[in-house]
């Protein structure tokens, strides 16, 4: 059983709370993982009572979960809910929040403050929490959960961190990257370090290249206010995909202690070869989706989406080639790619091994052996696959690809959301799946030169048809003609 705590959600009426946090808290409640004394406080501008918010949460969860909703679990969750009306810009509203926390005997001393708001509000919120003594409880702990983006570039990330750390110590701050809560991402550690058979092959001598892709069939939908000006590089590559790269490339840590694990991830980021300004176009590519089709459905281009400027050059597709200059990975390219309005929604780590010598089969019908692949599908289906070459049935010596799938590949997608595990980790005080600031800093150093150059190139951006697999021009990042993007399992 977890410790009891008071969880304050700043931005409790926003999309993140509605679509992610509250459903996650419901599932935690259904699993009976919350201490009976824990309470959840919503903080927002609506003039709601506790009962008003409970009614809104009941309606929202009923709409999302439908017939799967457990009324007993829902009743337990609703009984925990409290609401405090307040404006993030009004210091006096934080005074009222602090007074309620201290005067209400029903609210535990342990405090988790979740910033489910736009990043521009982070600094003011932490200042007001500190001004009212909510950053250091007299008894119990106080923890701060910060959503990405962690800054807009290297400089703004550093300024944000300095402001956070004036009010909260590093061990109180939980920078959340929900990808690190996904079970398949966490399984990379087990897959790599619990199987000795892989370790001799996991290096530059046998691996040709690594691809890490996140594709979305959806466009930006109603998120133009956030997305336009942010773009795919900041939204996905700087955070999620670089985190997956560190797990694939890191050395075995001495333990699974949070600091040991994060030390090894930082070593990977520090070893990534810097991209000078003159090499940006050779190692990075961006594009934007234009009008296209998905079956018989016409799809609008990015500039036709509501709220997007007609001359916007914000990228909805970004691809990046990186090299890790250490003993294990010297000269092995890592290709990172993300995009919206692509052929299908899928996240995949694809590891291609080098070609075997062809001389053995020179007198046979085998013209060229296909390479071996190791595939780790992250979402929507969690699956691990190895592709190997075997002889085709028949009289001639010909090869065909056989796929060895993990048994989990045949199971339906796992619907446990990453936020459930991460919320429980915060309550336990476990930083393992959260980012330390030096991780954020070094990740920004990787992409900052690219973003600075792209910011000066506002006259033109490549396009690709919505519903396709992206621009063919992105293939120029590959080192050889026999390398190509792996779109799916």
Q: Which residues are catalytic?
A: 240
Q: Are 10 and 99 in contact (CB under 8 A)?
A: no
Sequential DSSP letters for 313-374: ---SEEEEEEEB-STTTTT-EEEEEEESSBSS-EEEEEEEEPPPPSGGGTTSS---PPPPEE
DSSP 211-238: EEEEE-SS--TT-HHHHTTTHHIIIIII
Cα 82 from chain centroid (whole Å): 30
Tokens of 123: 């600094």
| Contact yes or no for 466/290 (Cβ under 8 A) | yes
d(CA 181, CA 318): 24
CA–CA dist 380, 414 (Å, integer): 8
The torsion angles phi and psi of 96, rounded to 5 degrees, stand at: -65, -40
- Four-CA torsion 190, 192, 198, 204, nearest 10 degrees: 180
| Cβ count within 10 A of residue 451 | 20
Distance CA(448)–CA(316), nearest Å, equals: 17
400 contacts 389 by C-beta, under 8 angstroms: yes
Please give the Cα distance from 257 to 236 (Å, whole number): 26
Distance CA 466, CA 106 (A): 52
Residues across the chain:
489
Rounded to whole angstroms, the Cα distance separating 398 from 368 reads: 10
Q: Are 43 and 12 in contact (CB under 8 A)?
A: yes
DSSP one-letter code for 11: T
Structure tokens at 250: 């890191």
- Output the CA torsion 338→343→344→350 (10° steps): -50
Q: Which residues contact 25 (CB under 8 A, 6 or more apart)?
A: 7, 34, 40, 77, 423
DSSP state of 460: -
CA distance 245 to 277: 23
- For the chain, report the end-to-end CA distance as a whole number of angstroms: 39
What are the start-end ranges of the E strands in 6-122? 6-10, 39-44, 81-85, 111-115
């Amino acid at each position: 059983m977890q410790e009891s705590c008071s969880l304050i959600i700043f931005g409790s009426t926003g999309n993140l709370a509605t679509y992610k946090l509250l459903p996650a808290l419901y599932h935690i409640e259904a699993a009976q993982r919350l201490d009976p004394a824990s309470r959840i406080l919503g903080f927002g501008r609506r003039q709601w009572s506790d009962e008003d918010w409970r009614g809104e949460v009941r309606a929202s969860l009923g709409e999302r979960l439908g017939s799967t909703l457990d009324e007993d679990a829902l009743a337990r969750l609703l009984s925990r809910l409290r609401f405090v009306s307040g404006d993030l810009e009004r210091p006096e509203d934080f005074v009222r929040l602090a007074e309620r926390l201290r005067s209400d005997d029903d609210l535990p001393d342990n405090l988790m403050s979740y910033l489910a708001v736009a990043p521009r509000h982070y600094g003011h919120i932490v200042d007001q929490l500190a001004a009212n003594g909510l950053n250091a409880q007299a008894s119990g702990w106080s923890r701060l959960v910060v959503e990405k983006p962690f800054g807009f570039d290297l400089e703004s990330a550093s300024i944000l961190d300095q402001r956070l750390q004036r009010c909260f110590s590093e061990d109180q701050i939980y920078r959340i990257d929900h990808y690190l809560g996904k079970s398949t991402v966490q399984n990379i550690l087990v897959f790599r370090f619990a199987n000795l058979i892989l370790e001799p092959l996991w290096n530059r001598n046998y691996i040709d290249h690594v691809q890490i892709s996140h594709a979305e069939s959806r466009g930006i939908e109603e998120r133009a206010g956030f997305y336009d000006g942010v773009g795919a590089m900041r939204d996905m590559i700087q955070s999620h995909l670089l985190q997956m790269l560190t797990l694939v490339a890191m050395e075995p840590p001495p333990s699974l202690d949070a600091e040991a694990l994060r030390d090894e991830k930082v070593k990977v980021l520090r070893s990534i070869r810097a991209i000078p300004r003159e090499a940006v176009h050779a190692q990075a590519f961006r594009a934007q989706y234009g009008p296209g089709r998905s079956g018989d459905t016409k799809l609008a281009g990015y500039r036709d989406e509501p709220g997007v400027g007609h001359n916007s050059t914000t990228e909805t597709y970004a691809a990046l080639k990186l090299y890790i200059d250490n003993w294990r990975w010297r000269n092995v390219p890592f290709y990172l790619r993300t995009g919206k309005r692509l052929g299908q929604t899928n996240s995949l780590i694809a590891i291609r091994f080098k070609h075997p010598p062809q001389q053995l089969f020179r007198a046979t019908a085998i013209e060229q052996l296909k390479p071996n692949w190791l595939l780790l599908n992250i979402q929507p289906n969690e699956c691990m696959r190895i592709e190997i070459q075997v002889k085709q049935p028949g009289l001639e010596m010909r090869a065909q690809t056989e796929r060895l799938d993990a048994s989990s590949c045949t199971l339906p997608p796992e619907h446990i959301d990453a936020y459930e595990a991460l919320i429980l980790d915060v309550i336990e005080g476990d930083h393992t799946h959260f980012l330390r600031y030096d991780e954020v800093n070094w990740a920004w150093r990787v992409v900052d030169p690219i973003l600075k150059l792209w910011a000066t190139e506002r006259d033109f951006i490549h396009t690709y048809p919505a519903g396709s697999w992206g621009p063919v021009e992105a293939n120029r990042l590959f080192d050889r003609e026999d390398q190509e993007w792996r779109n799916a399992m």
